[in-house]
């Protein structure tokens, strides 16, 4: 006896539904694997750049991280996306503040040199010489204030990284993140740089007996 038309249609509909469900499941699995690969790439590239942020900061690193942030925004796992964004935002700000400190470091060195040269020309301390000396001293103090503030910002941001690592730890391999030993080394290097800067400032302050 031939199957009824209704039975055939029902069987066809069921087959289509099953195929659609299987296809959707395969799509989700493929998307998950693609996001996992993207996550590993995003974190490994960012971490590699962080390791070199003080010695050889990558040109355009902050902008590159912006692109990674846009990628993470579209991930299906909201918890992973949020944790990744937290890590990336911290890294982006570290690069921005490091760029600031390098710029201020150059300005501070130039202003120190200008003040030292002026003080060494102190054969005759007339009104004009004194006025220029005061202006140069203010510039030195201003540039060093900006430099010290930017270095402190880098240090503070490095101190926040363990929290970002903690959020990501359940989802990724530890090797993808900046480990605590490397973070401590970077933090110590920032502290050493800040002490050096303070020492250079004291040297020029002593030029006129302060």
Q: How many domains does the chain have?
A: 1
Question: Is residue 28 predicted with pLDDT exceeding 50?
Answer: no
* Residue 193: inside a domain: yes
Residue 40 to residue 168: CA distance in whole angstroms: 11
What is the full DSSP assignment across 112-163? HHHHHHHHHTTTS--HHHHHHHHHHHHHHHHHHHHHHHHHHHHHHHHHHHHH
pLDDT digits (tens, 9 = 90+) for 163-190: 999 999 999 999 999 999 999 999 999 9
Q: To which H or E segment does residue 182 belong? A: helix 180-205
* Residue 35: inside a domain: yes
Q: How many Cβ atoms sit within 10 Å of the Cβ of residue 28? A: 11
36 or 177, which is more confident? Answer: 177
- Short-list 58, 186, 27, 207, CA closest to 125: 207
- Give me the pLDDT at residue 24, please: 43
Q: What is the mean pLDDT of the chain?
A: 87
pLDDT digits (tens, 9 = 90+) for 70-106: 999 889 899 999 999 999 999 999 999 999 999 999 9
Residue 167 to residue 61: CA distance in whole angstroms: 23
Question: Is residue 210 predicted with pLDDT exceeding 50?
Answer: no
- Give me the pLDDT at residue 35, please: 84
Question: Is residue 17 predicted with pLDDT exceeding 80?
Answer: no
Question: Is residue 119 predicted with pLDDT exceeding 70?
Answer: yes
Question: Is residue 54 predicted with pLDDT exceeding 50?
Answer: yes
* Residue 133: inside a domain: yes
Q: How many Cβ atoms sit within 10 Å of the Cβ of residue 98? A: 21
- The CATH number that applies at residue 111 is 1.10.287
For residue 56, name the pLDDT band (cuts at 50, 70, 90): confident
Q: What is the mean pLDDT of residues 144-157?
A: 97
pTM of the model: 0.82
Residue 72 to residue 80: CA distance in whole angstroms: 9
Domain containing 60 equals: 13-208
* Residue 191: inside a domain: yes
């Amino acid at each position: 006896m031939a199957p009824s038309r209704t039975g055939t249609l029902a069987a066809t509909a069921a087959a289509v539904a099953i195929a659609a469900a299987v296809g959707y499941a395969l799509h989700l699995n493929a998307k998950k694997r693609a996001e996992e690969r993207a996550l590993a790439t995003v974190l490994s590239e960012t971490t590699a750049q962080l390791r070199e942020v003080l010695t050889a900061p990558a040109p355009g690193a902050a902008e590159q991280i912006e692109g990674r942030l846009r990628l993470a925004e579209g991930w299906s796992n909201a918890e992973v996306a949020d944790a990744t964004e937290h890590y990336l935002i911290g890294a982006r700000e570290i690069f921005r503040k490091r760029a600031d400190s390098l710029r201020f470091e150059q300005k501070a060195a130039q202003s120190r040199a200008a003040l030292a040269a002026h003080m060494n020309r102190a054969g005759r301390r007339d009104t004009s010489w004194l006025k220029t000396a005061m202006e140069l001293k203010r510039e030195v103090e201003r540039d060093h204030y900006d430099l010290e503030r930017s270095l402190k910002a880098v240090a503070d941001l490095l101190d926040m990284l363990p929290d970002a690592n903690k959020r990501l730890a359940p989802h990724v391999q530890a090797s993808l993140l900046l480990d605590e030993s490397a973070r401590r080394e970077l933090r110590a290097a920032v502290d050493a740089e800040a002490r050096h800067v303070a020492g250079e400032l004291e040297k020029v302050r002593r030029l006129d007996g302060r």
